[in-house]
Every structure is written in structure tokens, then in C-alpha cells.
Amino acid sequence: MEKIINGKEISQNIKDEIKLEIENLKKETGKIPGLAVILVGNDPASNVYVGSKEKTCLSLGFYSEKYVLPENASEDELLDKINELNKNVDIDGILVQLPLPKHINSDKILNSILPEKDVDGFHPINVGKLMIGADDGFFPCTPYGIIELLKRKNIKIDGKNAVIVGRSNIVGKPISLMLLKENATVTICHSRTKDLNSVVKGADIIVAAIGKAKFINKDMVKDGAIIIDVGINRIDGSTKLYGDVDYDSVFDKISYITPVPGGVGPMTIAMLMKNTLISFKRRVNKI
């Protein structure tokens, strides 16, 4: 049995499906989905992320707009741009690249995006929809990608004990709710959890979203566990990326694992494209 969950391959399959669907919808409706990405400042990592989102958009047949505002742009300037995009009928998704400069209130910005165009799934309306298990919002992209990896690998979630390590708003909390929706029994751990090792050891599915390289080791996992490693870490400034799981140490014990890189990472952008396609399909009444 192949233990490695190949996120690179699975994300490519998803992108191929999206591309085909866009071609068909374009023939039917004469329209294509549009995604607008806004970047404030010139943080090198954010630049790379925005560039790759734009490239993916174009390669899949999306209409794409990119706005780069200067580092010292005011909150009002950014709000004006979002309002303009909220009204633009060709734009189905609006994404503001985080982190924003400190003088801008990120919550205020994210809350100003129309929930119907919030393809990142961070607007409180979409967070609330996730909470109540509604299907007409947007799932945040990284947790959505994790669920997709498990489903496409035919890994049963129903009835499993899932332990999530990390409770952030972008990964830990939403993946907990999504696994609950799939009928897992969910435990959420964090930095104050007592006896973390024994809690994690009870898990059939472990989601590590901690931000600490190689934190989960073989003594913390039970035989046959399924491991989803969300972490992206560097050790001592090296360019090599490490997950939150000590991959080599756990490999012989576990039944499935996502590698870093090439596991969860590539899924995030694929699911952003999927969310934008969903938004478009709602606009043209194809859902």
C-alpha cells in the first residue's frame, strides 16, 4: 500500500478537473470565473504566493486581476478597492494576501469582502456557516484541501478519532469542524493541553498544525495512524522545508502520511481555485 498521500498529484488532478469544467461552462454561458488578488506592500514571500495564484488562475482559464498597493497605503484606500471589486460583476472571488502591514486592521478588511466573494472563507458569515454545517458558504482552503486529500485517497473519516494539534482560525479550528461534519470524533489540542503525547497517541487521524519542525515523533503516534502534516518550517534559516511531524521517525508506524513539501501545501491553492469556480457557478446558476 502506498503510504504517501501525494498532494502534488492530487492537486494537479483537481486543477485539471477545474480547467475542463471552466471550458464547458464557458461554452454554455459565454462567461468565465474571475479572481482578484490584492497585495499591500512588497513582502517577498507574499509576492511569490500572489504570483503563483495569478499563474494558476491563467493556466486554468480564469479571468485574473492583481492589485499591488504600496506598503504605506491607507486602510481606506484598501477598503475602496475592495468595495469596487465587490461591485464588479466579472469578479467571483476577492483575496487579500495576508499578512497586512500593521497600520491596517486585518479583521476590518476581511469583513469588508462580500461573503459571496470571500473565496478564502475567512469572513465571519462563512465561518458561521461552517460552524452550523451549512454547505452554501466557502470552506477555508487549507482545511478544505485536507478533507479532499483524505477523500481522494479513500480514507474513511466516519467514526475515526481525529486529534488536531493547533487551534488557529485558518487551520486548527476549521479542520476540526470539517472533520466533525464528516463524523469523526474530534479532539483539539493546543499549547496548554495536558499530557499531549497520550492524547495524540489515541488518534486514528492526526492533523499537525503547530508551526514547530518535527514536533510529532514516533512515540506520540499509534500503529496505523493517518498523519496530515500542515506545518511548513525552516530549521536554522536553511531553504529546506520541514513539517510539524518527524517524517522519518514515524514512517514505519503509520498507515498514511502527507509529505512536506508536496502534501497539504499544493492543495491550498487548488482549493482556492475550486472556491472561485463554486462562486462563479452560483453566479451563473449552475449549482
Question: How crowded is the C-beta side of 18, counted as CA atoms within 13 Å?
Answer: 27
Least separation in angstroms between residue 188's CB and ligand NDP is 9
Q: Which of 32, 264, 272, 277 binds ligand NDP (CB under 6 A)?
A: 264
Assess 174 for contact with ligand NDP (CB under 6 A).
no
| 7 belongs to the binding site for ligand NDP (CB under 6 A) | no
**From the CB of 145, what's the least distance to ligand NDP, in Å?**
7
Q: Which residues contact 97 (CB under 8 A, 6 or more apart)?
A: 37, 38, 39, 40, 46, 49, 50
Q: Is 189 in the site for ligand NDP (CB under 6 A)?
A: yes
Distances (CA, A) of 179 to 12, 163, 223, 269: 23, 10, 21, 20
Other Cβ atoms within 10 Å of 8 Cβ, number: 13
Total residues interacting with ligand NDP, rule: CB under 6 A: 25
With CB under 6 A as the contact rule, which of the stretches 54-62, 95-103, 116-124, 163-171 interacts with ligand NDP?
163-171
* Residue 97 among the catalytic residues: yes
Considering the rule CB under 6 A, would residue 226 count as an interface residue with ligand NDP?
A: no
R_g of the chain, CA atoms, integer Å:
19
**Angle (nearest 5°) at CA 69 between 66 and 71:** 140
Shortest distance, position 85 Cβ to ligand NDP, whole Å:
24
Q: Using CA atoms, how far apart are residues 212 and 231, in angstroms rounded to an integer?
A: 7
- Closest-by-Cβ residue to ligand NDP is 168
CB neighbour burial string for 150-170, b if at least 16 within 10 angstroms, e if fewer: bebeebebeebbbbbbbbeeb
Helix intervals (H) in the chain: 7-29, 44-60, 75-87, 106-112, 124-132, 141-152, 172-181, 196-201, 247-250, 265-283
Selected catalytic residue, list 15, 92, 97, 204: 97
Q: Does residue 268 touch ligand NDP according to CB under 6 A?
A: yes
The verdict on 93 binding ligand NDP (CB under 6 A) reads no
Residue 6, interface with ligand NDP (CB under 6 A)? no
53 is catalytic: yes
261 binds ligand NDP (CB under 6 A): no
Is 107 in the active site?
Answer: no
Q: How far apart are CA 162 and CA 123, in angstroms?
A: 26
Q: Does 170 bind ligand NDP (CB under 6 A)?
A: yes
88 binds ligand NDP (CB under 6 A): no
**Residues with catalytic roles:** 53, 97, 120
Given the rule CB under 6 A, which residues bind ligand NDP? 142, 165-168, 170-172, 189-193, 196, 209-212, 230-233, 264-265, 268
